[in-house]
């Protein structure tokens, strides 16, 4: 009887790079679809995203009329297993649990660098609701001004 060992197949750098590119494109497309639907706009993946395009900064672009275009937001998108550092992921899970315990309040994580920048991290759904509310408020305000 001959025993065949299960050999691991190793991927080349090219195969890994292509897989990463596909994952990035998928995450960017999903994000563009989410924001386009949420803000009722024509949001797409940036042409040649990640290819040092000077004319199209960021990973998604608004070709429509949302607050993203109006305020000239630049959005960078990361995906994959290591996109969110473990410490942040753990803290966000704790916040989610705390929010549910406290009656489903919304939450955010504030991270302050010593003598540096302060960042806010929050759930995309909650942030999208805030952006949509601001966008709708601005549109109503503009209509009243005319």
Give the model confidence (pLDDT) of 1-58 as tens digits: 555 555 567 888 888 888 888 888 899 999 999 999 999 999 999 887 655 556 778 8
pTM of the predicted model, to two decimals? 0.80
Q: What's the Rg (C-alpha) of the chain?
A: 21
Largest pairwise CA distance in the chain: 87
Cα–Cα distance, 90 to 92 (Å, whole number): 5
Mention every residue, 6+ apart, whose C-beta is less than 8 A from residue 49.
Answer: 24, 25, 28, 56, 59, 60
């Amino acid at each position: 009887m001959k025993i065949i060992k299960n050999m691991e197949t190793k991927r080349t750098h090219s195969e890994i790079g292509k897989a990463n590119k596909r994952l990035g494109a998928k995450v960017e497309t999903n994000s563009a679809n989410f924001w386009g639907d949420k803000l009722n706009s024509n949001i797409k993946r940036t042409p040649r995203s990640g290819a040092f395009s000077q004319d199209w900064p960021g990973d998604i672009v608004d070709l429509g009329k949302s607050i993203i275009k109006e305020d000239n937001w630049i959005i960078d998108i990361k995906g994959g297993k290591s996109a969110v550092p473990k410490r942040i992921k753990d803290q966000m899970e704790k916040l989610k649990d705390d929010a549910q315990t406290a009656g489903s309040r919304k939450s955010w994580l504030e991270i302050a660098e010593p003598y540096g920048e302060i960042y806010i991290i929050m759930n995309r759904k909650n942030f999208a609701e805030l952006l949509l509310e601001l966008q709708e408020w601005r549109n109503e305000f503009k209509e009243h001004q005319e």
